[in-house]
């Protein structure tokens, strides 16, 4: 695609090594190569055209499939490789060799290039009985992700499993080429392990063009970014001077100036036009790829990002700020490499103090697959390869082995999987949890899905009101309680009576228990009159923050998102709808029903427990790690008030965060301690045993 490099593509110096790889494909039966090259070196364009020509000449009858992480990349690249602009530069045009669709029987014409993406390829595997859909003669090129996902881990495993099986079939020619902008020892190891020989490692050098230099911003950099935002959105500013902001901590500033965000849910048919129409764009964290943008002159990069991380100090998933690593910074710079603007005229601003590229952490990214989504990744791996040990699965190894062991133990104790053979297999609950993610809420949090799946089975002996309330609590947890409401900074703490007056329904009577019930009460107060209730918060076509009390800020847009989730879940679980105005009567609860719901919350969030003392001199502590924690500053009520004098109380939390050296629990909700024995009885596992981490068990 478009680039501001003027010299021959850097990959060409490795053309002979690529050709030698193809010389041996037929003889080896199954072959693998790992190609590492910098961004904008021609890997996905002219090198891919050369790979196609080599496959056509040396692997007769083979299909060629190029797999990209996203459907957006796939659509943009497919159009570019078929364009006259690209083909006129090639020794032999390939436009007529690009397959535009896949036949129903998966029979690709030999020598054709099919460009597809991860999710589509996984669907083809699934609909073909988890078997490789294109026979035993194929060349597969696959881009690995800068931010590895569960989809990517599973897809690479399926492809390598196919390549390994080709040693046992007649007339095979399986070639797997894994393409990456960074070194990946984990990938090289699994290629060696499954293809039974060391892969051909082809490392493409940097091109002759000078690298893009860092331009550090001064302190406080927020003021400089604010000025750049205003400048970028001036009338006619888009003409010849576009800017991309990778500064998500200033999202509110971007929204106020009508800068739209580009995220993973971008429409493939719209994104190319979108990025070339806007004068400025906010790039979401973990955006996987870069695209050509006309007149892109500058990129503003935030040095750090805040996100989930498995913390070996607590054996918990925590939210923490970390510096971006080298692979992430190079991915951001690649937007400028693909600009039509001359290399010497583009600027890469960074909020970091140093301009030395060498100071960047140079580590192989583990991505969301083994951070925020580690529960999902391990659960899906067991679903794909039941009864196999993780070390015998055809997948890359878990980056932090201790984290993998800990989460597998938790999944067993939560009843999502059980030991089987040399590994594990899914239980019915585990399958139900995955079904929620696959069919109802693709972005659902694991613990939220666990709550819904467990409660849906147990609630069949309860009134529909119980499941309705569980669904509402799940929706609020999914959106994030801190996104639904927040205590105004520096405001005095309200009394329980003041909070209850702002709430409606079951949440009002239970508000003293803390964050989750307060969220329910505030949400029901906003929506209980019917479908149009939240419309009163809309001005100029947008939801605006509301301040119904001097100490309270609510977010109607987040409440609407929760309402949409409630609708999807109620439809999925067959709960009968009710007419406008019946929200409160349809969700009223008895004391026993409240206890049932609290028992389900405790069971699902058993690894997110904090113990609080009525004594202010005694620090709360995380029940898994015994690590002292602090209660987050956004809590409206003091959870200590729920503790009996001189005693302890138990609470669940939805998030553990770290700032500096301190740990903070957020969205704290008190749970009756005497429910512990009931959960033990219901699950057949003592909570004390199930929450003991591998760390605390060994110490």
Q: Over the Cα atoms of the chain, what is R_g?
A: 27
Quote the distance between the C-alpha of residue 601 and its chain's center: 24
Name 558's Cβ contacts closer than 8 Å, sequence gap at least 6: 479, 480, 483, 484
DSSP state of 398: P
Average pLDDT over residues 182-192: 94
- Checking if the pLDDT of 423 tops 90, the result is yes
pLDDT confidence tier of residue 149, bands split at 50, 70 and 90: very high
pLDDT(217) > 50 = yes
Sign, CA torsion 186/190/191/196: positive
As a whole number, mean pLDDT of residues 27-49 equals 94
pLDDT for residue 106 is more than 90 = no
Quick check: 395 and 161 in contact, CB under 8 A? no
- The fraction of the chain above a pLDDT of 70, given in percent, is 95
CA 491/CA 101 separation, integer angstroms:
59
Angle formed at CA 627 by CA 623 and CA 629, multiple of 5 degrees: 95
Other C-beta atoms lying within 10 Å of the C-beta of residue 580: 12
Question: Helix 446-458 vs helix 374-384: angle between axes, to the nearest 10 degrees?
Answer: 60
Q: Which two tokens stand for residue 10?
A: 């850097």
Tokens of 124: 């083809």
Largest separation between any pair of C-alpha atoms in the chain: 83
Would the pLDDT of 286 be above 60? yes
Domains of the chain (ranges, CATH numbers) = 10-203 (3.40.50.300), 214-359 (3.40.50.300), 373-440 (1.10.10.10), 462-589 (no CATH), 606-698 (no CATH)
Q: How confident is the model at residue 467 (pLDDT cuts 50, 70, 90)?
A: very high
User: Phi first, then psi: what are they for 281, rounded to 5°?
Assistant: -135, 140
Q: For 512-563, what is each residue's pLDDT tens digit?
A: 999 999 999 999 999 998 888 898 888 777 788 889 999 999 999 999 999 9
Q: Containing H/E element for 274?
A: helix 271-277
The conformational region for residue 684 under phi > 0 = left, psi -120 to 50 = alpha, else beta, is left
Report the run of H or E that residue 630 belongs to, with start and end: strand 630-631
pLDDT at 500 (0 to 100): 96
CA distance 517 to 599: 14
Phi first, then psi: give them for residue 665, nearest 5 degrees. Answer: -100, 140
309 vs 67, which has greater pLDDT? 67
CA distance 565 to 476: 9
- Residue 448 pLDDT greater than 80, yes or no: yes
Mean pLDDT of all residues in 1-8 = 56
Check if the beta carbon of residue 172 is closer than 8 Å to that of residue 137: yes
* 699: pLDDT strictly greater than 50: no
Look at residue 355 in the predicted model and tell me its pLDDT. 63
Task: Using pLDDT thresholds of 50, 70 and 90, give the confidence band for residue 239.
Answer: low
pLDDT per residue as tens digits for the range 561-613: 999 999 999 999 999 888 888 999 999 999 999 999 999 999 999 999 999 99
DSSP state of 583: T
Cα(674)–Cα(678) distance, integer angstroms: 8
Average pLDDT estimate for 247-257 = 86
pLDDT digits (tens, 9 = 90+) for 328-348: 999 999 999 988 888 888 999
Which has more confidence, 27 or 210?
27
- pLDDT higher than 70, residue 238: no
pLDDT of residue 224 exceeding 60: yes
Average pLDDT over residues 223-231: 89
**Cα–Cα separations (whole angstroms), residue 558 to 352, 475, 519:** 32, 10, 11
Whether the ω angle into residue 614 lies within 30 degrees of 0, i.e. cis, is no
Q: How does pLDDT run across 426-443, given as a tens digit for each residue?
A: 999 999 999 999 999 999
Query: Does residue 695 carry a pLDDT above 60?
Result: no
Q: Are 443 and 413 in contact (CB under 8 A)?
A: no
Whole-angstrom distance, CA of residue 693 vs CA of residue 406: 6
Tokens of 601: 């919350």
Q: Of all residues in the chain, what percent carry a pLDDT higher than 90?
A: 61
pLDDT tens digit sequence for 643-660: 877 788 999 999 999 998
pLDDT at position 271 is 80
**pLDDT average, residue stretch 41-54:** 95
Q: pTM to 2 decimals?
A: 0.92
CA distance 502 to 504: 7
């Amino acid at each position: 695609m478009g680039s501001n490099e003027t010299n021959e593509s850097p990959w060409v110096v490795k053309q002979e090594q690529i050709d030698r790889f193809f010389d041996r494909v037929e003889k080896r039966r199954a072959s693998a190569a790992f190609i590492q090259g910098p961004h904008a070196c021609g890997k996905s364009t002219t090198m891919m055209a050369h790979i196609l020509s080599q496959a056509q000449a040396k692997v007769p009858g083979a299909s060629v499939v190029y797999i990209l992480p996203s459907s957006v990349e796939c659509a943009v690249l497919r159009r570019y490789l078929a364009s006259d602009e690209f083909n006129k530069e090639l020794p032999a045009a390939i436009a007529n060799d690009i397959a535009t669709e896949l036949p129903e029987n998966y029979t690709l014409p030999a020598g054709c290039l099919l460009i597809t993406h991860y999710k589509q390829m996984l669907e083809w595997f699934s609909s073909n009985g988890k078997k490789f859909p294109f026979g035993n003669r194929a060349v597969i090129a696959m881009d690995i992700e800068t931010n590895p996902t569960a989809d990517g881990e599973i897809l690479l495993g399926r492809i390598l499993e196919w390549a390994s099986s080709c040693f046992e079939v007649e007339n095979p020619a399986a070639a797997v080429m894994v393409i990456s902008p960074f070194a990946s020892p984990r990938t090289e190891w699994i290629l060696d392990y499954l293809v039974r020989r060391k892969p051909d490692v082809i490392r493409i050098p940097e091109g002759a063009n000078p690298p893009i230099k860092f331009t550090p911003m001064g302190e406080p950099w927020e003021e400089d970014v604010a000025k750049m935002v205003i400048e970028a959105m001036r009338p006619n500013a888009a003409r010849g001077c576009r800017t991309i902001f990778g500064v998500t901590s200033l999202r509110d500033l971007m929204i106020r100036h009508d800068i739209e965000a580009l995220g993973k849910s971008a429409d493939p048919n719209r994104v190319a036009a979108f990025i070339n129409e806007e004068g400025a764009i906010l790039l979401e964290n973990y955006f996987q790829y870069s695209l050509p943008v006309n007149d892109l002159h500058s990129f503003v990069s935030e040095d750090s990002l805040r996100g989930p991380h498995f913390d070996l100090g607590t054996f918990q998933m925590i939210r923490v700020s970390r510096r971006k690593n080298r692979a992430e910074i190079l991915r951001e710079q690649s937007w400028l490499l693909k600009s039509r603007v001359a290399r010497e005229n583009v600027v890469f601003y960074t909020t970091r103090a140093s301009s030395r590229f060498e100071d960047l952490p140079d580590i192989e990214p583990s991505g969301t697959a083994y951070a925020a989504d580690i529960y999902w990744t391990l659960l899906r791996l067991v679903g794909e390869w039941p009864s196999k040990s993780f070390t015998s699965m055809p997948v890359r190894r878990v980056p932090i082995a201790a984290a993998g062991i800990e989460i597998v133990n938790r999944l067993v104790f939560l009843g999502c999987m059980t030991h089987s053979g040399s590994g594990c297999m899914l239980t019915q609950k585990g399958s139900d949890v995955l079904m929620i993610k696959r069919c109802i809420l693709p972005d659902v949090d694991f613990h939220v899905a666990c709550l819904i799946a467990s409660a849906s089975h147990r609630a069949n002996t309860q009134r529909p009101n119980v499941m309705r309330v569980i669904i509402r609590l799940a929706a609020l947890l999914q959106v994030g309680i801190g996104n639904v409401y927040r205590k105004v900074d520096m405001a005095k703490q309200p009394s329980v009576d003041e909070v209850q007056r702002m709430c409606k329904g079951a949440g009002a009577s239970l508000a003293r228990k803390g964050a989750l019930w307060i969220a329910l009460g505030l949400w029901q107060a906003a929506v209980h009159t019917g479908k149009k209730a939240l419309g009163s918060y809309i001005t100029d076509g947008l939801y605006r923050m509301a301040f119904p009390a001097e100490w309270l800020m609510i977010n109607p847009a987040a409440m609407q998102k929760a309402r949409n989730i409630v609708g999807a879940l109620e439809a999925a679980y067959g709960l009968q709808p009710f007419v406008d105005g019946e929200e409160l009567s349809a969700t009223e609860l008895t004391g026993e029903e409240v206890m049932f719901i609290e028992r389900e919350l405790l069971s699902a969030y058993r690894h997110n427990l904090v113990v609080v003392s009525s004594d202010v001199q005694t620090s709360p502590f995380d029940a898994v790690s015994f690590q002292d924690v602090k209660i987050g500053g956004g809590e409206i009520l003091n959870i200590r008030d729920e503790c009996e004098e001189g005693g302890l109380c138990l609470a669940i939390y939805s998030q553990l965060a770290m700032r500096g050296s301190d740990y903070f629990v957020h969205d704290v909700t008190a749970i009756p301690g005497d429910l512990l024995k009931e959960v033990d009885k219901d699950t057949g596992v003592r909570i004390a045993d199930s929450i003991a981490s591998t760390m605390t068990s060994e110490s």
